[in-house]
Chains A and B, each alone.
Chain A
Amino acid sequence: MSRDGDAVDSGFAQFERFLEEWSRRDFLKRAGGAAAYMAFMAGGAEFLAACASGPTTTTSVTPKKGGHVVEGNFSDIRTLNSMLSSDTASNQVIGMLFDGLLNYKKDGSLIPALAADLPKTSSDGMSYTFKLRPNLKWSDGQPLTSDDVKFTYQLAYDAQYKAVSSPRRGDLSKYIAGIDTPDPQTVVVRTTQVFAPFLSSHGRYGILPKHVLGSLDAKAINTADFNTAPTVSNGAFKFVKWDKGQQVTMARNDNYWAGPAYLDQWIYKVLPDSVAVTNQLKTGEIDIGPVDPGQFDALKTTSTVALSEFPVPTFTFYAYQLDPNKPAGPFFQDKAVRQALLFALNRPQIVSAVYFGHGSVANSVEPPISWAYKDKPQVLYSFDKAKAESMLDGAGWAKGSDGIRAKNGTKMKFTMITNAGNKQREAMLQVMQQSWHDIGVEATPSLIQFPQLVSQIVSIRTFDVFLVGFNFDEDPDQGQLWHSRNTVPGGFNGFDFKNDQVDSVLDQAVGTLDKTKRKQLYFQFQDLMSDQVPAPIILFNHGIWGVNTRVQGTDFGPYNQYATRPWNHATWVTDGK
């Protein structure tokens, strides 16, 4: 994609955001119609300006240099090595320090970062050729070349680095056949087969410096000092200090390819919980932080904090035990039972009561923001208690004298598990218990610790029903959750969903790079899933971010929340502090 194309798209994105901002009721209440109109006109001019001059800032004010931003979040980082990290907090800070070949726009489409352009794909779809931007430099002034790129990926796919504890080894060693570096600016990634999600899943890992890590053997890389105190970086910021348990301090990288950031410092601060995030957004101790849906109203009235909200590819779902050999397995073998239980849930009410309206009821397994989303798949589930009851009657589950349904002497009683400490999930289990009680099904909530929940899902698998959240990439492939291949121990299809048609559609969809064809296949997949409902999705979550009004240039969106923020170098503060 050309730079001009970017500019136009970014202009539109800004325009949309502008409309969102100004249409907010609370603003209109304060400012009155006339002022809003004026603001609209002014914003319109800005929009045109943005189209003409390219993606720079979101206001007409000239950005100030200097100052700092303190961002708050709940978890401390674990590692700053992009090939070792798998948690959100670490990935977020890594995203500040290290760019990958590619990055995401906020709608999830790919844009070049260290690469000068999106890669050329060979005609057989088996290799990608990247050209790096000219004169890329590490923060220490050393040139960043194709060797660094190759080295980074080698850590996770090359057999000589097998001892590196990379969570990316499975995919990368399966799909990468080799990486060639014909010249310092060219990287050719050869894959073993056509795998459509490859670029969006694996194209954005922060590139690591070979001149720092290259001399270490595989085992030493796991515990290298670099992982907790990187001496060089290539992103908008460079590492200064990690005060464990408290904060990570970063400073501007003057060698950044997109030009030096406006800010002197970006500080990632660890806070105890979501209440602390709200409190410190109010006091100004932090400038940016993720806002819990329950805290939204508490912040809405704070004049120094601007809130932005948008749907994200994160969802909360519950899964039925489908293995017939498990105690609850026989209940859920019958598709009618699975469907009936979903009809009995008033999901809009769950969204409003548990998430205070900050979420979207799911019609499909794909997130509504995905390019592959089908708004109306084959079966739609609106709350319909009568239908749920008649379906259960039809399936042979008749109400007994105690009000509980039974079939062949077996009562429909089961336990639902989720992780203790997640208030929203706990509340959801209570709503489900009540809703199902109303149709004669006795489901008992049970809370366990998160590690035990994970063990239940991926290996022990003695649960009846579990409730948990999942987060997907931009690519619509959801094979990790639904493909029968992943019913093996350690796989996430712990509810034992096996459907040949679904398997085949998923396989075809990752085996072609033709987006139109993929979309068609994912539509088919969503139809199948809406009919089968092995693990119904209750809602898609919303991302909510609070940003102090002194901070300008942030542009949060569905795919620009944590690790991927192409705008981080363009962020600035109005008071220069």
Chain B
Amino acid sequence: MLAKYVARRFFASVVVVLGVTLITLVLMDRTRGTYVPGIDLNPALRPEDIEHLRENLGLNTPFYVWYLTWIGGVLHGDFGHSMIDGSTVMSHILDRLPNTLELTATAIVIGVVIAVPLGVIGALRRGSKTDHALTVVSVAGFAVPQFWMGLILILIFSVTLEQHGLPWLPSSGAFSAVNGGDFFDRVQHLILPATVLSFFYTSLWSRFIRSSMLEVLSQDYIRTARAKGMSERRVVYLHGLRNALIPLITLIGLELPGLVSGGLVVEVVFGWPGIGKLAFERALQYDYTTVMGVTFFATLLVVAGNLLADLLYGVLDPRIRYG
């Protein structure tokens, strides 16, 4: 039953991946005009140079031909070479994937660890001062733009602290330029971007847990549990929270592609050498191959994340059956 379900979802996924990558390519191809990736307004270039580069990059072939060639390569595990720098798309992705995973996984873990108790407290003490305060903070969490918060944190925790001779945090990159890269060094660089990103996750998820918890607590089976004399603790954590977490699983499942695309904005503000920043920069430069490669993996992860979330439902809620 389950195997059949997974197989069906898998075939649906193939269609989704094909669709998304095709749309990405068409959007790039239709808006590119005659721009040649990697070539800025450079007076040293003659029209014939630009034409020659266009030819070499395969930009003169119609997009459907280009797409079929690309798919052919992907089926053989070849994602091609970047149009900007000639190195393989895979090397770009593999170089930056660990950085993005480091940042997003940290932010997601911190987010869940903080959001769950805050959500539960908000729900249990609904209407209290604590609840109002949490509401204000979490609304701020998704109202404050991430780039702004990032810049303010840099200003306070890097520049101002340094100017006053106090210990300060590095403002960009994943490790120190000189002799960097050990565990402690990386953690130092991680603090600011992870704070911004997890603040966002915490705000978002604590609201969901709060409302989902409220809904669950008003259910008949909770009343039944209380009526049969179960301790409040068991009611809340065993019967309440477990059911309230189901929507969170979907949310986190949907964040799985975020593991790859990362907090794009956060990566850009903090110069974090991750996948999100790569996709952002290369999309602006019309580096077809790199953008397609990243899109492919991001789509794959959305699909996988959704599937994983659906399967986890079964674990959390035995009533759910696949078919």
A positions within 8 Å CB-CB of B: 68, 70, 76-79, 84, 86-87, 163, 165-171, 201, 222-224, 227-228, 243-247, 265, 267, 269-272, 275-276, 279-280, 282-286, 449-452, 454-460, 468-473, 478, 480-481, 486, 488-492
With both chains docked as a complex, state the minimum distance between the C-beta of A517 and any C-beta of chain B, in angstroms: 23
Taking CB atoms, residues of chain A closer than 8 Å to B65 are none
Contact of B154 among A201, A279, A286, A469 (CB under 8 A): A279
What are 7 A-B contacts with C-beta separation under 8 Å? A78-B38, A170-B48, A223-B88, A246-B174, A267-B177, A272-B268, A449-B31
With both chains docked as a complex, state the minimum distance between the C-beta of B1 and any C-beta of chain A, in angstroms: 45
Tell me the residues in window 203-258 of chain B with beta carbons closer than 8 Å to chain A beta carbons. Answer: none
The 8 closest A-B pairs by CB, nearest first: A455-B33, A490-B47, A245-B273, A170-B46, A451-B35, A170-B49, A459-B34, A246-B273
CB <8 Å contact, B86 and A245: no
> A265 with B33: in contact, given A165-B53, A272-B268, A481-B43 (CB under 8 Å)?
no
Taking CB atoms, residues of chain A closer than 8 Å to B38 are 78, 86-87
With both chains docked as a complex, state the minimum distance between the C-beta of B92 and any C-beta of chain A, in angstroms: 6
With both chains docked as a complex, state the minimum distance between the C-beta of A72 and any C-beta of chain B, in angstroms: 9
Tell me the residues in window 24-81 of chain B with beta carbons closer than 8 Å to chain A beta carbons. Answer: 31-35, 38-53, 56-57, 81
Taking CB atoms, residues of chain B closer than 8 Å to A282 are 159, 162-163
B positions within 8 Å CB-CB of A: 31-35, 38-53, 56-57, 81, 84-88, 91-92, 95-96, 99, 151, 154-155, 158-159, 162-163, 168, 170-175, 177-178, 268-271, 273-274, 277-278, 281, 284-286
> A275 with B40: in contact, given A165-B57, A267-B177 (CB under 8 Å)?
no
CB <8 Å contact, A470 and B81: no
Total A-B residue contacts, Cβ distance less than 8 Å: 184
CB <8 Å contact, B35 and A492: no
With both chains docked as a complex, state the minimum distance between the C-beta of B285 and any C-beta of chain A, in angstroms: 8
CB <8 Å contact, A455 and B35: yes
Across the interface, name the chain B residue whose C-beta is closest to A267.
Answer: B177
Contact of B178 among A227, A246, A265 (CB under 8 A): A265
Taking CB atoms, residues of chain B closer than 8 Å to A279 are 154-155, 158-159, 171
CB <8 Å contact, A171 and B172: no
Across the interface, name the chain B residue whose C-beta is closest to A247.
Answer: B177
Taking CB atoms, residues of chain B closer than 8 Å to A478 are 43
CB <8 Å contact, A245 and B95: yes
CB <8 Å contact, B46 and A222: no
CB <8 Å contact, A283 and B48: no
With both chains docked as a complex, state the minimum distance between the C-beta of A477 and any C-beta of chain B, in angstroms: 10
With both chains docked as a complex, state the minimum distance between the C-beta of B191 and any C-beta of chain A, in angstroms: 15
CB <8 Å contact, B178 and A68: yes
Contact of B35 among A84, A244, A283, A454 (CB under 8 A): A454
Contact of A283 among B51, B92, B158 (CB under 8 A): B158
Taking CB atoms, residues of chain B closer than 8 Å to A68 are 178
Across the interface, name the chain B residue whose C-beta is closest to A277.
Answer: B172
CB <8 Å contact, A280 and B171: yes
With both chains docked as a complex, state the minimum distance between the C-beta of A480 and any C-beta of chain B, in angstroms: 4
Across the interface, name the chain A residue whose C-beta is closest to B150.
Answer: A272
Taking CB atoms, residues of chain B closer than 8 Å to A489 are 34, 47
CB <8 Å contact, A169 and B49: yes
> A452 with B35: in contact, given A246-B174, A486-B47 (CB under 8 Å)?
yes
State in angstroms the CA–CA spacing of A171 and B52 once bound together: 13
With both chains docked as a complex, state the minimum distance between the C-beta of A547 and any C-beta of chain B, in angstroms: 16
Taking CB atoms, residues of chain A closer than 8 Å to B151 are 275
State in angstroms the CA–CA spacing of A222 and B52 once bound together: 13
Taking CB atoms, residues of chain A closer than 8 Å to B45 are 86, 167, 170
CB <8 Å contact, A245 and B39: no
With both chains docked as a complex, state the minimum distance between the C-beta of A491 and any C-beta of chain B, in angstroms: 5
Taking CB atoms, residues of chain B closer than 8 Å to A168 are 44, 49
Taking CB atoms, residues of chain B closer than 8 Å to A79 are 85-86
CB <8 Å contact, A269 and B49: no
Across the interface, name the chain A residue whose C-beta is closest to B181.
Answer: A243
